[in-house]
């Protein structure tokens, strides 16, 4: 097996372990990421609107 495949499967296994053992913290993490992406998108929209 190549190293990339091993690291990919290890990352998936770690993610699943984290999701199963700590679902509340996982949900908080995902919500935080989505909130950050939303704020970034809103800032980009505000910037583009201010150009025109």
1-49 pLDDT tens trace: 689 999 999 999 998 998 999 999 999 999 999 999 999 999 999 999 9
* Helix, strand, coil % in the chain, rounded to nearest 5: 90, 0, 10
Alpha-carbon distance of 29 to 19, in angstroms, equals: 10
pLDDT at 52 (0 to 100): 86
pLDDT at 46 (0 to 100): 96
Q: Which two tokens stand for residue 44?
A: 């980009």
Q: Which two tokens stand for residue 20?
A: 């199963």
pTM of the full structure:
0.66
Domains of the chain: which residue ranges?
23-52
């Amino acid at each position: 097996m190549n190293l990339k495949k091993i690291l990919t499967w290890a990352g998936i296994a770690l993610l699943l372990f984290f999701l199963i053992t700590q679902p509340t913290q996982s949900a908080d993490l995902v919500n935080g990421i989505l909130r950050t992406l939303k704020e970034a998108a809103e800032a980009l929209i505000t910037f583009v609107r201010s150009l025109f």
